[in-house]
Amino acid sequence: MKYVENILGTIGNTPLVKMNVLTSEIEALVLAKYETFNPGNSVKDRMALKMVEEAEEKGLINKGGTIIEGTSGNTGMGLALAAIVKGYKMVCVLSDKQSKEKMDILKAVGCEVVVCPTNVAADDPQSYYSVARKMAEETPNSWYVNQYDNLANSKAHYESTGPEIWEQTDGKVTHFVAGVGTGGTISGVGRFLKEQNPNIKIWGIDTYGSVFKKYHETREFDENEIYPYTTEGIGEDILPKNVDFDVIDGFTKVTDKDAAVYTRRLAKEEGFFLGNSAGAAVKGLLQLKSNFSKEDVVVVLFHDHGSRYVGKIYNDEWMKAHDFM
Ligand code: PMP
């Protein structure tokens, strides 16, 4: 018989899928690391499990305890799966720009969901960062995950996502492209790939309203770069410890409209029903096309699934209200 012990045993080993239509103007082979095959439908299952396992090893969480995290939804889902299997309670603190689907999905897997305003500074007591931290201080036997600065996040990708890409491409990968939020994915994968072959280029996808690109280029934290945006999952108004700027060769910024339009095009033209950051990633990849030559093997990672965006990106009224259609 071939089976896994529980749902956590299905995390990882996601497929690489060739892109055939949207990237046809690029001569290189473009392969999508298709992370929605994880049980929580996102790449975040990998790092969620790793962070919980490391917290258990360090004695930061005990049986029956409460896991608390500020999450845009995907990390919450991954943590919820780990919490169910391992016997913890799960509280997710979200900002109110997150899709209703994400909130309902988290409730479906047993999370308590706390919603905070989006348009406040990260250090404002109302921000979801602050609320999550405070709840953890006030809840007995709780553990605040902090995916931004918890280095088990990028380690998960160093140990699983990176090696998978290396093996699946037979070591032929030349470029890796991924959206950057906490930085865990790009930094862990990037570090692993560069250790195998230092010539591999690592490109980050950023959004307008985020500090990453300018910080990477100037090492200046420019508050003028911070303003509200609709793209979910990527860009930050803080510098998470998981972003290793030295591993990243460059960033490109994608507009909210392009991210939304290209998310829809992925579904219609490739049959890839994915989340908002996938549209940003593929548009960013097209913006970077002068960097790729015919022999190159470009891997782009798609973080999450379209089902979480049916009320937004895949909803005509929402698209029209934002002038995206
Ligand atoms: N896309 C989506 C949909 C996400 O939820 C996240 C995580 N915030 C990212 C991209 C960015 O991944 P990472 O946090 O590993 O940089």
pLDDT in single tens digits along all 325 residues of the chain: 999 999 999 999 999 999 999 999 999 999 999 999 999 999 999 999 999 999 999 999 998 999 999 887 899 999 999 999 999 999 999 888 777 878 898 999 999 999 999 888 878 999 888 999 999 999 999 999 999 999 999 999 999 999 999 999 999 999 999 999 999 999 999 999 999 999 999 999 999 999 999 999 999 999 999 999 999 999 999 999 999 999 999 999 999 999 999 999 999 999 999 999 999 999 999 999 999 999 999 999 999 999 989 999 999 999 999 999 9
Whether ligand 1 lies within 6 angstroms of the CB of 304 is answered as: yes
Q: Determine the atom of ligand 1 nearest the C-alpha atom of 181.
A: 16
- From 119, 144, 169, the end of a domain falls on 144
Whether 18 sits among the annotated catalytic residues: the reply is: no
pLDDT at 234: 96
* Tokens encoding 241: 């410890």
Same-domain status, 196 and 137: no
Instruction: Assess contact for 73 and 114: CB atoms under 8 A.
Output: no
Same-domain status, 118 and 190: no
- From 127, 144, 161, the end of a domain falls on 144
pLDDT at 99: 73
Domain-located, residue 52 = yes
Whether ligand 1 lies within 6 angstroms of the CB of 275 is answered as: yes
Whether ligand 1 lies within 6 angstroms of the CB of 185 is answered as: yes
Among candidate residues 2, 33, 44, 253, the one labeled active-site is: 44
Pairing of strands 297-302, 175-179: parallel
pLDDT at 129: 84
Instruction: Assess contact for 252 and 288: CB atoms under 8 A.
Output: yes
How far, in Å, from the CA of 234 to the mean position of ligand 1?
Answer: 6
pLDDT digits (tens, 9 = 90+) for 201-226: 999 999 999 999 999 999 999 999 99
CATH number assigned to the domain comprising residue 87? 3.40.50.1100
Domain-located, residue 1 = no
The DSSP letter of residue 245 is: T
Whether ligand 1 lies within 6 angstroms of the CB of 142 is answered as: no
Q: Whose CA is nearest to atom 12 of ligand 1?
A: 181
- From 98, 119, 144, the end of a domain falls on 144
Domain-located, residue 191 = yes
Q: Determine the atom of ligand 1 nearest the C-alpha atom of 243.
A: 16
* Tokens encoding 191: 């570090």
The DSSP letter of residue 305 is: B
How far, in Å, from the CA of 42 to the mean position of ligand 1?
Answer: 9
Q: Which of 99, 101, 148, 185 to mutate to test the pocket of ligand 1 (most atoms within 8 A of CB)?
A: 185
Domain-located, residue 2 = no
Same-domain status, 185 and 173: yes
Range of the domain at 21: 7-43+151-319
Whether ligand 1 lies within 6 angstroms of the CB of 234 is answered as: yes
Q: Count of CB atoms within 10 A of residue 272's CB?
A: 23
Same-domain status, 54 and 166: no
Q: Whose CA is nearest to atom 1 of ligand 1?
A: 233
pLDDT digits (tens, 9 = 90+) for 15-64: 999 999 999 999 999 999 999 999 999 999 999 999 999 999 999 999 89
Tell me the residue ranges of DSSP E strands in the chain.
Answer: 16-18, 29-34, 66-70, 89-95, 112-116, 142-144, 175-179, 201-207, 250-254, 297-302
How far, in Å, from the CA of 146 to the mean position of ligand 1?
Answer: 14
Q: Whose CA is nearest to atom 8 of ligand 1?
A: 233
